[in-house]
Structure 1
Amino acid sequence: MKPIYLLALSLVFLFISCSKQVDPSEKLNKLIAERDKLNQEIVELQKQISKNDTLKDEKMVKILEISPKEFKSYIRVQGRVDGDENAAVNTKVVGVIKNILVKTGDRVTKGQILATLDDEVLQSSLKELRAQYEFTLTVYERQKRLWDQKIGSEIQYLTAKNNKEAMENRIKSLQEQINMYKLTAPVSGTVEDVSIKIGQAVSPGLSLMRIVNFSKMKVVAEVSETYSSKIKKGDEVEIIFPDIPYTTRSQISFASKFINPVNRTFIVEAQIPSSVTVSANMVAVLNINDYKKTDAIVVPDNLILNENGEKFIYVAEDQNGKLVVARKKIVTGRSYKGETEILQGVDKNIRLIASDLQRIEEGQIVKPL
Structure 2
Amino acid sequence: MKIKYKIFSLVLVTLFAVSCGEKVATAEAQGEVKTEEDHEENPQTIAELTQDQMKSVGVTLGAIVMKELTSTVKANGLLRVPNNRKAIVTSLYGGVIRTINFQIGDFVKKGEVLATISNPEYIQLQEQYLTVNSRISFAEQEFRRQKELFDNDAGAKKNLQSADAELKTLRTQKASLKRQLQMMGISPETVNNRNLKSGLVITAPISGTISTIHAQIGSYVDISAPVLEIIDNHSIHLDLQVFEKDLSKMRIGQVVHFKLTNNPETEYDATVYSVGSTFENESKTISVHANVIGNKTGLIDGMNITGIVSLDKSSTPAIPDEAIVEADGKYYVFVQSDKKPDEHEKVGNESKQGGKSENQQKTMAFEKIEIVKGASDMGYTAITSLVEIPSNAKIVVKGAFFVNAKLVNSGEHEH
Q: Return the TM-score normalized by structure 1.
A: 0.48
Q: Return the TM-score normalized by structure 2.
A: 0.44
Higher helix share: 2
Larger-Rg structure: 1
Higher strand share: 1
